Amino acid sequence: MSSAETYALLEQKMPSYPDYASIPVIESEEPLVPLKNNELLDSLQIDPAMLAVTGTAVYVREEVADKLQVVAENLAARRPGSQLQVVYGYRALAIQRRLFEAVKAGLPPEMSEPEMLAAAHRMIAVPEVAGHPTGGAVDLQITDSSAPLDFGTDIWTFQPGSYTFSPYISPRAWQNRQLLREVMLQTGFAPFDGEWWHFSYGDKEWALHYNQPSARYNQLDFTTPNLDG
């Protein structure tokens, strides 16, 4: 089997836009909170577009922040010296819309609207179902003495090799991806197997993965008050 065929098979197993579209949300009203760094958990905002919205802090829903601390503790017990490093949490809805429209604009104009939504969603989530604007999704990796472990690709490298179950990575990278996946799922996060670094709780992806009747978090418009004035 060629690598293109292998990746096509892996992609078929990932949920698509219509799978999410019909999931209702019963909003939990949990606030967004900034992640607090400590010896087990490190966070760093890597999207320059978000600096005007949240400054350098990574914001997530309160329960997500609590769960990440538990993940970091479990990880340190499994692999002493490890730190959980979160590089993205909440993304402003306006940024998600801008990214999505840019991808959609690059698609063949003869496509129908539903075809466009499904095709664009494979590259960047449709804003109405996207996880990051809910504060429930996070992008993260494991570091050791501040250096990322070998995950086969760098975080945020959008290529087929970033599919969690890509067979074209080293055994070490495979192990590291599985370790991250295990500690995240153990604490109730859902995986997105198109990006080894992306997990979520409470959003539609999470509801679909765990067969929940509804999601807990809606997309939010938010700017940290600390940046005003």
Which residues here bind Zn ion, judged by CB under 5 A?
Answer: 139, 198
Q: CB atoms < 10 A from the CB of 5, how many?
A: 9
82 phi/psi in degrees, rounded to 5: -80, 150
Closer to Zn ion by Cβ: residue 174 or 197: 197
CB of 116 to Zn ion, least distance (A): 21
Least separation in angstroms between CB 16 and Zn ion: 17
The nearer residue to Zn ion, 77 or 158, going by C-beta atoms, is: 158
Closest approach of Cβ 229 to Zn ion, in Å? Answer: 31
Question: In this complex, which beta carbon is closest to Zn ion, that of residue 63 or of residue 139?
Answer: 139
Helix (H) or strand (E) holding 103: helix 93-105
Q: How far is the CB of 147 from Zn ion (least distance, A)?
A: 21
Tell me whether residue 121 or residue 198 sits nearer to Zn ion (CB atom): 198
d(CA 184, CA 127): 24
**Which residue is associated with the tokens 């490298």?**
157
Helix (H) or strand (E) holding 33: strand 32-34
**Triad 202, 205, 211: Cα angle to 5°:** 85
Extract the tokens encoding 173.
């990278």
Residue closer to Zn ion, measured from CB, 116 or 140:
140
Residue 152: CB minimum distance to Zn ion, A:
17
> Which tokens is 66 given?
């609590």
The closest of 130, 116, 108, 135 to 29, measured between CA atoms, is: 135
By Cβ distance, which residue is nearest to Zn ion? 198
Contact (CB, 8 A) for 103 and 95: no
